[in-house]
Amino acid sequence: MSQSFNRGTVEDFGRWREFSAGMWAWIFHKFTGWVLVGYLFTHIAVLSTSLGGDELYTSTLQGLEALLVVRFLEVGLLAVAVFHILNGVRLLMVDLGVGLEAQDKSFYASMVLTGAITVASIPTFLGGPLA
21 binds ligand HEM (CB under 6 A): no
Given candidates 10, 37, 44, 69, which one binds ligand HEM under the rule CB under 6 A?
37
Q: What is the DSSP string of the chain?
A: ---------TT-GGGGGG--HHHHHHHHHHHHHHHHHHHHHHHHHHHHGGGG-HHHHHHHHHHHHT-HHHHHHHHHHHHHHHHHHHHHHHHHHHHHTTTGGGHHHHHHHHHHHHHHHHHHHHHHHHT-S--
- To ligand HEM, the closest distance from the beta carbon of 35 in angstroms equals 8
Q: Which of 21, 61, 75, 88 lies at the binding interface for ligand HEM (CB under 6 A)?
A: 88
Kindly state whether residue 112 participates in binding ligand HEM, applying the rule CB under 6 A. Answer: no
**Minimum distance, C-beta of residue 130 to ligand HEM, in the bound complex (Å):** 26
> Among 21, 24, 33, 77, which residue sits at the site for ligand HEM (rule: CB under 6 A)?
33
Both ends of the chain: CA-CA distance in Å? 70
CB 33, min distance to ligand HEM, A: 3
Binding residues for ligand HEM (CB under 6 A):
29-30, 33-34, 36-37, 40, 84-85, 88-89, 91-92
